[in-house]
Amino acid sequence: MNDSILITGIHGFGYHGVFDHERRDGQDFYVDIEMKLNLLTASLSDDIADTVNYGLITDLVFSEITGDPVSLIEKLAGRIAEKILDSELKVLEVSVTVHKPQAPVSAKVSDIAVTILRKR
């Protein structure tokens, strides 16, 4: 399948992390989504029922970023991927990248991110 929908830079403020200060103070998280699906019907019909409503996907991702905290961004990415696959049956494969630009590491970095891929 070569068709995909990409959504990049979904932003939310969350309380994910291993350290107490991350859970207490929170930080910015950004999520990128790539969904693989067949878009042939949608490209012909021009009907939203034949594709994935990316407004609903961004709402889902935002809710996960701002919702119940997890220790690892790996867990957050996996949770988002599973919810997308559960809610959008047209999606055959989803890639989720969670960015944690303010991750507490000793070296100066512009970003730390985790990408996971889940398939049906």
Answer yes or no: are the C-beta atoms of 116 and 74 closer than 8 Å.
yes
- 100 catalytic? Reply is yes
Please report, in tens digits, the pLDDT of each residue of the chain (120 residues total): 689 999 999 999 999 999 999 999 999 999 999 999 999 999 999 999 999 999 999 999 999 999 999 999 999 999 999 999 999 999 999 999 999 999 999 999 999 999 999 999
| CA pair distance 26, 23, nearest whole angstrom | 6
Predicted local confidence at residue 40, as pLDDT: 97
pTM of the complete model: 0.95
| CA pair distance 41, 87, nearest whole angstrom | 19
Total domains in the chain come to 1
Domain holding 61, by residue range, is 4-119
29 to each of 6, 50, 62, 66, 70, how far by Cα in Å? Answer: 17, 30, 10, 9, 13
* Catalytic site residue from 36, 83, 90, 100: 100
Predicted local confidence at residue 2, as pLDDT: 86
Q: What is the CATH number of the domain that holds 77?
A: 3.30.1130.10
Give me the sheet containing 93-99, strands edge to edge.
Answer: 4-14, 27-36, 93-99, 113-119
